[in-house]
Structure 1
């Protein structure tokens, strides 16, 4: 997998690292600690989960890990997994909690990521290498 990581275009490498790093959200949400804050206000772990923040953070961590590993393994569905992960993290929470502007900004970021993942020749070629290997096997 390290060879795949270094064979990626640089922005795809950054996106993969971003997705994998988000597993921290899952770890921080499930491991008891006193570092939770919502809108700058210190909250307990129970409040963190009852507000929905713990659920969203955990989902982002799980989907980020899955998307990052799928990209590293050049899975055909990896690009869609990354876009789903980005949508969950950058779009969905904001309108739910009343910030439509950040939700719109997040949607624009997801659209830009989608264009990059599906239209940039170097990224398409990265994923096609695995498809050719699987067909040739």
Structure 2
């Protein structure tokens, strides 16, 4: 896996590390008790989970951590899982914002920015030539098959 990490284009390395970092967010969402600070606003744990923000954060975290592992083994499913994880994360942020009492306009702006971010990530993962070469099994040294 270290060899594969070193073979990644630099932006893909950062994306992989950032995605793997969602493990900390998942642990925080799963283990928290009492009050959660969402954008600096205190929210009760029950309200956090009832709003869907807790479940959305947990699902997004699981998808993004899994995509990081799949990227390290050069799986052909890694890129799709990463894009899906960021889609769920964008919706989760909107759910979190709704719990904090932000206006509908602010929540919609977060959704639009999230969608733009997902498009940029998707274009990078699927259209960048260096990323395509990285996931090409003929160029992968010591990686798993693309299955």
TM range (shorter): 0.7 to 0.9
The 2-side partners of 1:39 and 1:16 are apart by: 25
Q: Please, what TM-score do these two structures have when normalized by structure 2?
A: 0.79
103, 108, 111: which is aligned to 2:111? 103
Contact 2:52 2:92 in 1 (8 A): no
Aligned residues: 135
TM-superposed CA distance for 1:92, in Å, is: 6.0
Q: Which has the higher contact order (CA 8 A, sep 6+)?
A: 2
1:116 corresponds to which residue?
124
TM-score, normalised to structure 1, is 0.85
Q: Which moved more, 1:62-71 or 1:98-107?
A: 98-107
Structure 2 residue 122 is the aligned partner of structure 1 residue 134? no
Question: Where does the alignment leave 5 or more consecutive residues of structure 1 unmatched?
Answer: none
- Cα deviations across residues 29-58 of structure 1 (Å, max 9, x unaligned)? 111345512353323322321222211111
CA contact (8 A) 1:91 1:107 kept: no
Distance 2:56 2:92 in 1: 9
Q: Deviations over 1:71-129 (max 9, x none)?
A: 11110111111100111112564289431112111111111111111111110000003
What are structure 2's unaligned runs of at least 5 residues? 99-103
Q: How far did residue 130 of structure 1 move?
A: 6.2
Q: For 1:3-82, what aligned pairs fall within 5 Å after superposition?
A: 3-34=3-34, 36-82=36-82
Task: Tell which deviates more after alignment, 11-20 or 51-60.
Answer: 51-60
CA distance in 1, matches of 2:41, 2:71: 36
